[in-house]
Amino acid sequence: MALRIAAIVALGLSAAWTTGAMAQETVKVGLILPYSGPFADAAKQLEAGVTLYIQKHGDEVAGKKIELIRKDTGGPNADVARRLAQELVVRDQVDILAGFALTPEAVGVAEIATEAKKLTVLMNAATSSIIDLSPYMVRTSVTIPQVNYALGKWAVEEAGVKQAYTLVSDYGPGHDAESSFAKGFTEAGGTILGADRTPVANPDFSAYVQRVKDSNPEAVYIFVPGGAQPAAIGKALADRGLSPPDTKIFAQGELTHPEALESMGETARGVITTFHYTLERDDPLNKEFVDGYHAANNGRSPDLFSIGGYDGMHLIYEALKKTNGDASGDALIEAAKGMSWDSPRGPMSIDPETRDVVQTVYIREVQEVDGKLQNVVIHEIPEVKDPLHGAAK
DSSP code per residue over 149-180: HHHHHHHHHTT---EEEEEEESSHHHHHHHHH
Reported as a single tens digit per residue, the pLDDT across 74-106 is: 999 999 999 999 999 999 999 999 999 999 999
| Alpha-carbon separation of residue 181 from 3, 220, 251, 270, 295 (angstroms) | 40, 11, 9, 19, 37
Segment 246-264 mean pLDDT: 91
Closest by CA position to 195, among listed 169, 158, 162, 228: 169
Rounded to the nearest integer, the mean pLDDT of the chain is 91
Which pTM value belongs to this model?
A: 0.89
Indicate if 145-275+361-389 has the same CATH topology as 2-142+285-355.
yes
Q: Give CA 130 to chain center in angstroms.
A: 12
**Rounded CA separation 67/96 (Å):** 10
Reported as a single tens digit per residue, the pLDDT across 277-331 is: 999 899 999 999 999 999 999 999 999 999 999 999 999 999 999 999 999 999 9
For the chain, percent of residues with pLDDT exceeding 70? 93
Number of CB atoms found within 10 A of residue 2's CB: 9
Reported as a single tens digit per residue, the pLDDT across 138-156 is: 999 999 999 999 999 999 9
**Rounded CA separation 291/112 (Å):** 37
Residue 180 or residue 203, greater confidence? 180
Which of the four pLDDT bands, split at 50, 70 and 90, describes residue 385?
Answer: very high
CATH topology of domain 2-142+285-355: Rossmann fold (3.40.50)
- In this prediction, residue 262 carries a pLDDT of 87
- In this prediction, residue 260 carries a pLDDT of 86
Domain limits of the chain? 2-142+285-355, 145-275+361-389
- In this prediction, residue 239 carries a pLDDT of 93
- In this prediction, residue 18 carries a pLDDT of 37
Tell me which range, 15-19, 56-60, 173-177, is most confidently predicted by mean pLDDT: 56-60
- Say whether pLDDT at 390 is over 60: no
Closest by CA position to 57, among listed 327, 373, 311: 311
- Nearest 5 degrees, angle CA 270-CA 273-CA 277? 130
Say which CATH class 145-275+361-389 falls into: alpha beta
- In this prediction, residue 225 carries a pLDDT of 79
Segment 34-58 mean pLDDT: 95
Which of the four pLDDT bands, split at 50, 70 and 90, describes residue 38?
Answer: confident
